[in-house]
C-alpha cells in the first residue's frame, strides 16, 4: 500500500500525524519531511547481535535500539554478497531484475536505466549523502558515480577490495581523491571507521534542519580483522585463540577477540548516532534503519560457528539458505514506531525504495519489486501489503537460486549442470534450519516454485550459468 493510499484509509492520516507528534492541521501544513538514515553493516550475521540471540558479543546500543524500536524477524538482504545486495537496496529490484547481480566490475547504469532511491529523494527535496563503502558498484567505480546516482555528498571507498582494509591509502570525497600517505592498508594513522564516524557526526550537525537521507555504509565486521586496542581489551583472555596468517586480509594473533571487538565498536557507533539525533532534537523526525548487507562471513580468519553468527539459520555468506540472506533489521523512530515491538512481516532490501518514497510522499513511476513497509512501521499490520514471493539468484559456486513464498523456501543449486539439480523445499514454519527437504512429499509445491522461478527473472549482462528465462 502506497503512503498516499495509506493516508486515505480510516484513521491513516491521523495515525501518521500522531506518530509525528503533530495535530492534523499542523501535519497537513508541515513542510519538513522525515529524515531517513539507513545504516548498513558489512557481513554481520543474523545471530551476531544480543537482540537476535547473541550471548557472548556485547551489543548494548543496538539492543537498546531494538527495545526502543521495531525488530523485524523475517527481513532479507538483496543478495548473499555485497554489490548485488546493495544494488537491490538502491534500485528497489531483486536479483532477477537488477543490473548488478554479482561482485565484480559492473556498476549501476545512468538513469533512467537504474534510478536509485537517492535520486528519488533528491528530487523530493532531500539532501542525500553516502558515507563509507560506495553501494553503486563493487570494483572499478568511477569517482563521480556516487554523485551521479543521486548522492549530493559522498565520502568513502570506491573499490570494495580497497574497503577490505581499515587503513586506506586513499578515499574519495565528491569525486576528489584524498590521500593518506601514512597508511599501509593494515596499519597507519587514519583508521577508516574513525574517519567515517566523524564525518557522519559532522554531516548531522550541518544538515539537522533536514530533510536528509543518509546512507551510512559501514565496513564492519568485514573479513579483514582489525579493532582498536580499547575494544579488544573488552574481550581479551576470554577465548582460546589460534593466530591466523593471511595474505590479502590482515593477519591477526587474536581473531576471536578482534571479531567481537569489531562488532562492539560498530554497536557503539550506532549508539552514538542515536544519541546525536536526540541531542540535536531531531530524533522524532528521523527514521533510522539498521541492517546488514548479507549473512555471516566465514573468511579472513573469522569462524562464524564459534560465535554462532548465523543463530538458528543454516549457512552464511554466499549461501542462499536462510543464514546467507536473512539479516537483522531494526527500525527506530521515536514517537512513530512503537517501542519494544517485533514483526514477522516478510520484507527485503528492495522494499526500502518504496518505503522511502512513501515517507517523502514522492512518486516512483519506474517498475519496482518492492512493497512499502510504512504501514508496519506505523503499527498498521492490517494495512500492510504482502509479497507473493521473494527471489534471489547468485552467479558463483556453480550458480544457485532461491524463493521464499509463504512459509515455503525453495533452493536450487548447481545451475551450471545439465540437467539442473532438483529443487529443494523447506517449510520454514516448522524447519527454520532447513534440515528436512520436503520436495518429494509436495510435488505440487515444487511445481509452483518452478513456475515462480521462470517468472521471476530477466536476462542480464553477467550471465554465467544456464538460468532459464
Q: Is residue 66 part of a domain?
A: yes
446 & 421 share domain: yes
Alpha-carbon span 109 to 175, nearest angstrom:
17
354 & 400 share domain: no
404 & 335 share domain: no
CATH number (domain holding residue 430): 3.30.1120.10
- The dihedral region occupied by 92, where left means phi > 0, alpha psi between -120 and 50, and beta the remainder, is left
142: pLDDT strictly greater than 50: yes
pLDDT at residue 202, rounded to an integer: 98
Domain limits for position 397: 390-455
Q: Is residue 24 part of a domain?
A: no
Among candidate residues 359, 383, 407, the one where a domain is terminated: 383
454: pLDDT strictly greater than 70: yes
Q: Is residue 356 part of a domain?
A: yes
Q: Is residue 460 part of a domain?
A: no
Alpha-carbon span 83 to 349, nearest angstrom:
13
pLDDT tens, position by position, 257-291 = 999 999 999 999 999 999 999 999 999 999 999 99
Q: Is residue 15 part of a domain?
A: no
Q: Is residue 361 part of a domain?
A: yes
397 & 289 share domain: no
pLDDT category of residue 98 using cuts at 50, 70 and 90: very high
365 & 419 share domain: no
Q: Is residue 450 part of a domain?
A: yes
Q: Per-residue pLDDT averaged across 403-411, rounded?
A: 98
The count of domains in the chain is 2
CATH number (domain holding residue 223): 3.40.720.10
Contact 376, 343 (CB under 8 A): yes
Helix, strand, coil percentages, rounded to 5, for the chain: 30, 15, 55
pLDDT category of residue 419 using cuts at 50, 70 and 90: low
Contact 163, 219 (CB under 8 A): yes
Long-range contacts, 113-117 (Cβ 8 Å, 24+): 114/87, 114/149, 115/91, 115/366, 116/90, 116/91, 116/149, 116/150, 116/353, 117/89, 117/90, 117/91, 117/92, 117/150, 117/213, 117/352, 117/353, 117/356, 117/357
Cis peptide bond prior to 419, omega within 30° of 0 = yes
379 & 405 share domain: no
pLDDT tens, position by position, 288-333 = 999 999 999 988 889 999 999 999 999 999 999 999 999 999 999 9
Among candidate residues 383, 401, 419, the one where a domain is terminated: 383
Q: Is residue 59 part of a domain?
A: yes
- H/E run at residue 354: helix 352-360
The model carries a pTM of 0.93
367 & 408 share domain: no
pLDDT tens, position by position, 340-395 = 999 999 999 999 999 999 999 999 999 999 999 999 999 999 999 999 999 999 98
288 & 413 share domain: no
Q: Per-residue pLDDT averaged across 104-109, rounded?
A: 89
CA 411 to chain centre: 22
329 & 259 share domain: yes
290 & 432 share domain: no
**Residue 10 contacts by C-beta under 8 Å, 6 or more apart in sequence?**
none
pLDDT at residue 78, rounded to an integer: 98
344 & 207 share domain: yes
pLDDT category of residue 102 using cuts at 50, 70 and 90: confident
Among candidate residues 331, 356, 383, the one where a domain is terminated: 383
369 & 396 share domain: no
Contact 171, 180 (CB under 8 A): yes
Amino acid at each position: 500500500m502506497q503512503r498516499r493510499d495509506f493516508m486515505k484509509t480510516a484513521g491513516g492520516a491521523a495515525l501518521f500525524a500522531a506518530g509525528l507528534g503533530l495535530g492534523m492541521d499542523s501535519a497537513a501544513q508541515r513542510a519538513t519531511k522525515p529524515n531517513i538514515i539507513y545504516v548498513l553493516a558489512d557481513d554481520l550475521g543474523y545471530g551476531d547481535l544480543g537482540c537476535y540471540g547473541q550471548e557472548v558479543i556485547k551489543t548494548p546500543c543496538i539492543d537498546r535500539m531494538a527495545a526502543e524500536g521495531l525488530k523485524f524477524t523475517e527481513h532479507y538482504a538483496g543478495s548473499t554478497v555485497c554489490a548485488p545486495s546493495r544494488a537491490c537496496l538502491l534500485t528497489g529490484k531483486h536479483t532477477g531484475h537488477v543490473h548488478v547481480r554479482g561482485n565484480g566490475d559492473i556498476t549501476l547504469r545512468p538513469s533512467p536505466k537504474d534510478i536509485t532511491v537517492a535520486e528519488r529523494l533528491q528530487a523530493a527535496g532531500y539532501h542525500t549523502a553516502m558515507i563509507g563503502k560506495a553501494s553503486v558498484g563493487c570494483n572499478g567505480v568511477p569517482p563521480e558515480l556516487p554523485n551521479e546516482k543521486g548522492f549530493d555528498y559522498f565520502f568513502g571507498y570506491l573499490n570494495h577490495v580497497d574497503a577490505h582494509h581499515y587503513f586506506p591509502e586513499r578515499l574519495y570525497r565528491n569525486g576528489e581523491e584524498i590521500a593518506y600517505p601514512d597508511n599501509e592498508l593494515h596499519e597507519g594513522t587514519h583508521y577508516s571507521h574513525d574517519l567515517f564516524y566523524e564525518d557522519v557526526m559532522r554531516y548531522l550537525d550541518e544538515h539537522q534542519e533536514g530533510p536528509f537521507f543518509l546512507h551510512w555504509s559501514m565496513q564492519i565486521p568485514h573479513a579483514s580483522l582489525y579493532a582498536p586496542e580499547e575494544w579488544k581489551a573488552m574481550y581479551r583472555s576470554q577465548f582460546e585463540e589460534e593466530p591466523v596468517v593471511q595474505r590479502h586480509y590482515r593477519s591477526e594473533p587474536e581473531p576471536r577477540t578482534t571479531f567481537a571487538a569489531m562488532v562492539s565498536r560498530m554497536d557503539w557507533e550506532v549508539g552514538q548516532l542515536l544519541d546525536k539525533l536526540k541531542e540535536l532534537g531531531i530524533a522524532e523526525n528521523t527514521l533510522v534503519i539498521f541492517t546488514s548487507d548479507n549473512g555471516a562471513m566465514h573468511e579472513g580468519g573469522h569462524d562464524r560457528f564459534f560465535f554462532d553468527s548465523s543463530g538458528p539459520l543454516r549457512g552464511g555468506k554466499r549461501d542462499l539458505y536462510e543464514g546467507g540472506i536473512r539479516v537483522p533489521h531494526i527500525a527506530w523512530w521515536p514517537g512513530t514506531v512503537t517501542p519494544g515491538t517485533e514483526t514477522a512481516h516478510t520484507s527485503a532490501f528492495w522494499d526500502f525504495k518504496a518505503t522511502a518514497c512513501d515517507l517523502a510522499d514522492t512518486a516512483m513511476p519506474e517498475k519496482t519489486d518492492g512493497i512499502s513497509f510504512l504501514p508496519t512501521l506505523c503499527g498498521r499490520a492490517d494495512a500492510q501489503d504482502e509479497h507473493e514471493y521473494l527471489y534471489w539468484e547468485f552467479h558463483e559456486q556453480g550458480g544457485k537460486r532461491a524463493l521464499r513464498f509463504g512459509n515455503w523456501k525453495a533452493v536450487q543449486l548447481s545451475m551450471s549442470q545439465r540437467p539442473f539439480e532438483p529443487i529443494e523445499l523447506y517449510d520454514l514454519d516448522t524447519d527454520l534450519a532447513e534440515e528436512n527437504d520436503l520436495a518429494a512429499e509436495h510435488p505440487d509445491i515444487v511445481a509452483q516454485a518452478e513456475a515462480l522461478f521462470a517468472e521471476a527473472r530477466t536476462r542480464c549482462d553477467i550471465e554465467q550459468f544456464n538460468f532459464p528465462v
